[in-house]
Amino acid sequence: MIAVELSKLFRRPRTWVTVGLLCLLPTVVAVFLAVTDVAPRPGEGPAFLSAVLANGALFPAAALGIVLPLFLPVAVAVVAGDAVAGESAAGTLRYLLVRPVGRTRLLLAKLLSVVVFLVVAVTAVAATAYEVGTRLFVPVPGSPAEVVTGLSGSTLTSQQLAVRTVLVIGYITWSMLGVAAVALFLSTLTDSPLAAALGALAVLVTSQVLVTLDAASSVKQYLPTRYWLAWVDFFRDPILWHDIRLGVLVQGAYAVVFLGLAWAAFTTRDVTS
Amino acid sequence: MTDREDAVVATSGLTKRFGSVVAVDDVSIEVRQGDRYGFLGPNGSGKTTTVRMLLGLVYATSGRVELFGRRMPGPARGTLSDVGALIEGPASYGHLSARTNLALMDAAGPGSSRRTRRRRIEDVLEQVGLDGVGRRPVKAFSLGMKARLGLAGALLRRPRLLVLDEPTNGLDPQGIHEVRDLLLELNRGGTTLFVSSHLLSEVESLCTRVGVLQAGRLVAQDDLAALQAPTGLVLVRTPDPDLAVSVLDGRVVRRDGDLLAVRASTAEALAGLLVQSGVRLTELRAERRTLEEVVLELTGPGSDRVARGPDR
């Protein structure tokens, strides 16, 4: 069943268009930076971009930072929102269920294919960004920029950099689990993939707004987007684990709760589409 | 369960409520091995909801469903891999080819061998007349081709039971004829058919047994031949109607030009009498009620009319 779901996912042109667009945005940013050589002032713009200008090896992390706040969650919400509701709208859900595919099994296969999509998308963004970054931003030989400097000012070896980039990929993938679970849950309730995706995005936007609101500080730490930006802590020396750990916990909690709800809703519901 | 060991589909007291609306009310269906069962009813009478309950898509409010003597929906979900189904029209992944669609569906569930998959796909495509369809995506198919593909999907695992909801929707007369022949052939090979339809002619020409649903209740379930029992009248067509009327002397119930409806115990006795009296005969047959008459009598008027009931 999982092989069937993956095959459906990767045979869809939409999947590749989405991944392509995700890779395109950081590339556009990189081209502008390289052509104009104007770096965002410190404290403005996406994290890391000023450092990238000196050494492109940091660009994969910066690229993930660019797609993280909006593009990546939108893509995840669309794919996860489509998971069950899309089958429902196309009428193929009833044929899958009488095939028979158990409802729990189908939901697990859908979840897994969403996660695989996420990993593929995030890895593709990082890989493209590495290619683009190392080509466009070649450090001047002998200059201090030839070594990569972390946020704490200490230098990172290329091995350290690789390990930390992989950690960032993992953390950002994990950060999307909350959105994916909410979208999957909504997807089991409605026959409209659009409604499920937009519903999940509405949850995210609400969370983003509340995170910046001081009046909401009492709930802030439980919001799904609260620790999204903690990935930059991987580039401190030593790595600042505190927020990362909380981020992992919060996302895990959202994933467990909403996947539980999705399971409860899907296994007890009448399929009338 | 004991007295219906050969029942392929058996429901007892099957009921489904959607809120305050009772969609299916205390329905007890029995379909036996080898039957060609026609499930008739006007639109909105609960046919599709019943079919969905048989297949475990909709959960019954009360009552039970058994397929091949096993409770549905139950732990033995694998029961369904012996069932081929077409529910409310075919559905497929539009951007994929017919073959890919069939292969994906086949691989998704249990009870199918990967080794024979390609062979089986070619076989069913040939059976439904789609073998030359190539790699074109299903979204480019005509309605009739999609209907054929839906049927191919239902046949893919050589099921012992076929549950078909409006199987000829979207087919042209030629296609309807082909599908009927195919279903009859499968039935001769031992496949039990359960065909839900609002088309009386379709059921009349295909089925041996009929259940009639009206407003969620099963108002009749019997062999087609029994429902269409003779009316006790014999229809006589003759070029000498006046002579016939005088010979028969008051036994003519209706006269419509040269067609007479005559009260008679058997057609044979009547034929002898008329021929002896010099009445020439063009046609003579016992009158049987058509399925249409039977069903209209059972279900009353109106199919999709939504009348204001006394309870609303």
Q: Using a CB–CB cutoff of 8 Å, tell me whether A7 touches chain B.
A: yes
Cα dihedral B162, B168, B172, B173 sign:
positive
User: Is residue B292 scored above 60 in pLDDT?
Assistant: yes
Identify which has the larger pLDDT, B252 or A265: A265
Please say whether the beta carbons of A182 and A203 come within 8 A.
yes
Give per-residue pLDDT as tens, B101-141: 999 999 998 878 889 999 999 999 999 999 998 899 999 99
Please say whether the beta carbons of B85 and B154 come within 8 A.
yes
B78/A100 touch (CB, cutoff 8 Å), yes or no:
yes
User: Is residue B65 scored above 60 in pLDDT?
Assistant: yes
10 Å Cβ neighbour count for A156?
A: 19
Question: Of how many residues is chain B composed?
Answer: 312
Q: Which helix (H) or strand (E) holds B28?
A: none
Q: How many helices (H) and strands (E) does chain B have?
A: 10, 15
Residues of A in contact with B47 (CB under 8 A): none
B109/A92 touch (CB, cutoff 8 Å), yes or no:
no
CA dihedral A120→A123→A127→A129, nearest 10 degrees, is 110
The partner residue sitting opposite A12, judged by closest CB among B78, B85, B95, is B95
Pure H helices in chain B: 47-54, 98-108, 117-127, 143-155, 173-188, 200-206, 224-227, 241-248, 267-276, 291-299
Tell me, what's the pLDDT at A20?
Answer: 96
Q: How many helices (H) and strands (E) does chain A have?
A: 12, 2
Give per-residue pLDDT as tens, B25-44: 999 999 999 999 999 988 88
Q: Using a CB–CB cutoff of 8 Å, tell me whether A101 touches chain B.
A: yes
Distance CA B221, CA B210 (A): 6
Residues of B in contact with A96 (CB under 8 A): 105, 108-109
> Residues near A83 by Cβ (< 8 Å), separated by ≥ 6?
A110, A111, A113, A114, A183, A184, A187
Residues of B in contact with A7 (CB under 8 A): 104
Please say whether the beta carbons of B234 and B42 come within 8 A.
no
Closest-CA residue in chain B for A2? B108
Residue-level pLDDT, tens digit, chain A, 273 residues: 889 999 999 999 999 999 999 999 999 999 988 888 777 766 666 667 777 777 788 889 889 988 998 999 999 999 999 999 999 999 999 999 999 999 999 999 999 999 999 999 999 999 999 999 988 888 777 666 666 767 766 778 888 888 988 999 999 999 999 999 999 999 999 999 999 999 999 999 999 999 989 998 899 989 999 999 899 888 887 889 999 999 999 999 999 999 999 999 999 999 998
- Residue A213 phi/psi, 5-degree rounding, is -95, 120
Q: Using a CB–CB cutoff of 8 Å, tell me whether A267 touches chain B.
A: no
Q: Using a CB–CB cutoff of 8 Å, tell me whether B271 touches chain A.
A: no
Whole-angstrom Cα Rg for chain B: 24
User: Is residue B301 scored above 70 in pLDDT?
Assistant: no
B81/A8 touch (CB, cutoff 8 Å), yes or no:
no
Residues B126, B180, B97: CA angle, nearest 5 degrees: 35
Please say whether the beta carbons of A105 and A1 come within 8 A.
yes
Cα dihedral B278, B279, B283, B284 sign:
negative
